[in-house]
Structure 1
Amino acid sequence: MRNIRIGKNTSNNKKTGLYIRVSTNFQFEEGYSVGAQTEKLEKYCNYQEIDNYDLYIDGGYSGSNLNRPEMKRLIKEIQEGKVESVVVVKLDRLSRSQKDTIYLLEDVFEANDVGFISLNENFDTTTPYGKAMVGILSVFAQYERENIRERTQMGITERIKTGKWRGTKPPFGYDYNNGDDVLVPNKDAETVRKIFELYKEGYSTYALAKMFDLKGDKQVSDMLSRVTYIGKLKYNKEIVDGLHEPIVDKKLFDEVQELRKTRTRATSHKSQYLLTGLIYCGLCGAKMRYQKWSGGRVMIYCYSLDHSKPHLVKNPNCQNGKLDAAEVEEVVVSDMLKLSKEYEVIEEKSEQQNQKGFEAMNQRKSVLEGKLKSLYNLYASDTNNSVLLETIGEINKELENLNTQIEQYTLKNTRAKDMTARAKAFKSVADSWEFMSFNERQKTVREYIKKIKISNDYVEIEYNDLLTLQ
């Protein structure tokens, strides 16, 4: 955005840069609107008899970084030798970052012999006092950098001890309430609960990551170990009660931790059997195990009949028989491959329509953002125009609603595509099975089969949700 005013040339043809910034919520910054800042800066120029000046207006940009179009233009023109001084109404209009402020003062302004003036703070680097202040600021900035880690660690410890969130990015399923310094469950909280429940039912972290469109099984593993979800906070080795609302019941959380230990032990050494961990007794509900017999034959039988592990016994009088492992595996694999061949991949019928709607919303967003930039320019010239201000507010509100809709569409389409991709992957299992290694076959079985129940010579296969929807 540019709004340039040219007056009489000075002797060296260099101009004064009047920098103006308003945040994204500029209408709430009383006294610092574009119009108010422009008026103060032009009065300063009139008082100082400065005729050659240029306005650099960044409307709707945060001061937390220097990624602003007019700030970039100002820096570029300073480096080209076109600017002799920069004036702002208040120091935080230049930047809210101490690091960026020091960078501008030392590496941009001072390095190019450009003076800097902030009216509110009476800060002027063209004077000996102002130059000394830049040096003092640099010393304090260095001191701050050296001590920030220590202060941060102390601050985090104290916050956590009182049950408040540390102020960093909140865990998945929570938002951060900056006013109360606590975590608040958001729309993803139900997903977190579902992940704990499904893991307890036997789903792997890999399957859950794909099901809920997460960043791999590591994210799921991290979630399952977070005490934050039961209302606790952890810092280093210390765990304290948090002020936030729990998402997961403690009983479920503890059960999941025990399961994770069991599964970790189970996967620490690779099983030599295809269905390990998936087979259960259909009569008493106990787990079933593989056992080698003499002559190399391998059988499957109920843990209730294995008195060496009493904690796994459900019914010591279980009448389930011993079955040949090769026969059970053949039944299971044949059924899975048959289902794979017959499986119909149902594409999202509304996918094209959703895509058109998504494109239309993005086009509308671009139009609104263009209008907003134009209105900022108009408002800079006419700060008393209440109609302009009202229109800007309405567009901001529409943009906010539009961004929410775009986010929802993106999430829905991503999940739909993931389900379709998983379905297509299952469809290809029948064709690729004979080319898979044992580990790949074992992983495939766990991906699509939830549980196998054996009742004497009857095998019941429970597939994961993806395969039970049709």
Structure 2
Amino acid sequence: MIEDIEAGKINCVVTKDLSRLGRNYIMTGQYTELYFPSHNVRYIAIDDGVDSEKGESEIAPFKNIINEWVARDTSRKVKSAFKTKFAEGAHYGAYAPLGYKKHPDIKGKLLIDDETKWIVEKIFSLAYQGYGSAKITKQLRAEKVPTASWLNFTRYGTFAHIFEGKPESKRYEWTIAHVKAILKSEVYIGNSVHNMQSTVSFKSKKKVRKPESEWFRVENTHEPIIDKEVFYRVQEQIKSRRRQTKEKATPIFAGLVKCADCGWSMRFATNKANKTPYSYYSCSFYGQFGKGYCSMHYIRYDVLYQAVLERLQYWAKAVQQDEEKALN
């Protein structure tokens, strides 16, 4: 809509009431009092009796504040209700985790799915043998093991946009992220863990991971698929498996380098086939899905290191010469 307003295609915006325009009173006020007038756009809020063509509504700013308060209060109540459900240890996802199915009579109760639990057992078995997530992913693809999304499609018809008209290989398109998520999930030892992440605030949909001390963990809520000894052994292996260069040095840019096109993390790797081995970064999204999704975005580690070093040296020198000017 904003693009159409900027292009002059829209000269009137109508909403049921002010809350439909926005519940952040500062941003709502910015649109109604600054943005719309500056672009010659008429704004009408039907139920609130607001019509910019007939003059400003004196009550509008107060209603915007009330709308934000209502949104904040609703968010608080919803979170409180979910916390109560979390404490019960029930599962409230749209789908049961791979290897499980929902109980037909008891809401939130998980039952082992005998048709798919073998996939979970296979993944943990490989991990227990020392396979890393990348190697497990390759083997699952090679053996044409169906993904959870494909199984949900065959059972419920969901994810049709992903599979209909696509090649058969799409059914077995496991990713490293999928495998890691399964290996780290306590659901497979019979625990229910919730509240692991939350939104920054009721005004933002951005999610952040919470510290483990704030998680809701309820043990033994359903029958486990994986033995606890196996599960915790795999967790130890995951923690101890750190990517290292040939010189055993941890890459200093780990987790910091992102693909400019897709936003995924850049994958660190070492080319050992060359006479002089070297390390590099490439798009992990491209690495998992191929050319149809992103491009490689290859950059050598030493080139990136030198570029960052030179930039740091430039700013360090600038601060030494004139700190106030450099910071401003």
Pair member with larger Rg: 1
Normalising by structure 2, we get a TM-score of: 0.39
Q: Which structure has greater helix proportion?
A: 1
Normalising by structure 1, we get a TM-score of: 0.30
